[in-house]
């Protein structure tokens, strides 16, 4: 799944989305589900700018289920971040996503990573979530939308595909690009990530 659209959208912010699945849906493989989800986002007024190839990635956290298929995409769409998130959740529901367990297996996961260079709700709150220790990450869930996604700089399964479609996007608080974050990943964060 490599899709590059010939236009660059200047009238709306880049919406960065990570896509993942590790459970089949009906007769669809996770790969087919991700491809179909990208297409169905057009029904929610998202215009595809670029989509990465698909990658097989080890389940996170380790041992929590089957390996994932992951990808990343850049869209142009609704301007309000809360509306973007609402529409992503609507597509997840249409693909039988059930929110039972944090970081549990799923038929489809659409993570909103960033909307342009917006920081939501504010820099102090985002920093608190970025600095949250791993042990607390498994228990704590933010009550509001946090942008940029507070874990994106740590996750190879997000950064490797994202580097295919948005290598020059710069984190507004960390002041590093996706390419730089990807290059800075420890080897264990990249281990087992293979292009399909």
Q: Write out the residue range of the structural domain in which residue 56 sits.
A: 3-191
Contacts of 85 (CB under 8 A, 6+ apart): 112, 145
- pTM, to two decimals: 0.90
Q: Which tens digit of pLDDT belongs to each residue from 76-96?
A: 998 899 999 999 999 998 887
Confidence band of 6 (pLDDT split at 50, 70, 90): very low
Q: Where is 43: in which H helix or E strand? A: none
Say which CATH number the domain at 109 has.
Answer: 3.30.70.560
* Per-residue pLDDT at 7: 42
Within a domain: 196: no
Q: Which tens digit of pLDDT belongs to each residue from 127-144?
A: 999 998 877 876 778 889
How many domains in the chain?
Answer: 1
End-to-end C-alpha distance for the chain, whole angstroms: 9
* Per-residue pLDDT at 25: 83
């Amino acid at each position: 799944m490599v899709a590059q659209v010939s236009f660059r959208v200047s009238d709306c912010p880049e919406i960065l989305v990570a896509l993942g699945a590790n459970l089949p849906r009906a007769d669809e493989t996770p790969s087919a589900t991700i491809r179909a989800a990208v297409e169905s986002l057009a029904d929610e007024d998202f215009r595809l700018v670029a989509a990465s190839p698909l990658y097989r990635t080890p389940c996170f956290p380790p041992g929590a289920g089957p390996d994932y298929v992951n990808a990343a995409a850049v869209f142009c769409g609704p301007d309000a971040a809360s509306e973007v998130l609402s529409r992503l959740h609507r597509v997840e529901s249409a693909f039988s996503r059930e929110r039972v367990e944090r970081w549990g297996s799923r038929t489809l996961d659409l993570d909103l990573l960033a909307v342009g260079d917006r920081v939501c709700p504010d820099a102090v709150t985002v920093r608190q979530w970025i600095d949250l220790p791993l042990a607390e990450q498994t228990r704590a869930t933010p009550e509001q939308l946090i942008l940029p996604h507070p874990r994106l700089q740590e996750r190879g399964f997000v950064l490797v595909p994202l580097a295919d479609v948005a290598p020059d996007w710069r984190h507004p608080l960390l002041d590093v690009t996706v390419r730089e974050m990807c290059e800075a990943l420890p080897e264990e964060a990249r281990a087992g990530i293979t292009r399909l």
